Amino acid sequence: MRRQLIAAIADGELRPGDQLPSVRSLASDLGINLHTVNKAYAILREEGYLLMRRRAGAIVSDRSMPTASQRADAQDQRMREELHRIALAYKARGGSRERFAALADEQAATVFDRSSNRSDQSARSDRTD
C-alpha cells in the first residue's frame, strides 16, 4: 500500500493538497487491518509524503516546500556557522576557549533567563491582582 501511494504521488495521480481517505475508510475499502493503514500513513508522514491534519486527516504534502524540521535544521546550521565565525574572530584576537564559552553562556542566560523571569513576574502579578 505504501509503495502504491508513493507511485500515485510520483505519477501525478495524487497531487499536493489532495486528501486521502480516513484510516478506517481505506482499511475497510481495501479489506485490510486498520493498524496496517495507520502504520503506512505514519511512515509516509515521517518520510514527508503526507501531512496529518486534525479533522482533515491525511493530505499529500508539497515535497517542494521545506518541512518545519528542514527549516529548523537550516536555521541551526546558519547559527552554527555564525557561532563558528564569532569564535574564530575571538580566537584571532587572542581570546581563550574558556572565556569565549563564558561570554556565550552569559549571553544565553540573558536571553533564556529573561523569558523565565517574565513568566515569574507575570505569575506574581497575577497573584497580586
Q: The C-alpha cell of 115 is what?
A: 523569558
Q: What pTM was computed for the model?
A: 0.51
Q: Cα–Cα distance between 25 and 5 in angstroms, integer? A: 15
pLDDT tens per residue, range 91-113: 999 999 999 999 999 999 999 98
Q: The C-alpha cell of 65 is what?
A: 516546500
- Give pLDDT, residue 54: 79
58 Cβ neighbours under 8 A, 6+ residues apart: 19, 20, 22, 23, 41, 44, 45, 50, 51, 52
Per DSSP, what are the bridge partners of residue 57?
A: 53
Indicate whether 124 pLDDT > 60.
Answer: no
Average pLDDT, the chain: 85
Mean pLDDT of 28-38: 93
36 Cβ neighbours under 8 A, 6+ residues apart: 1, 27
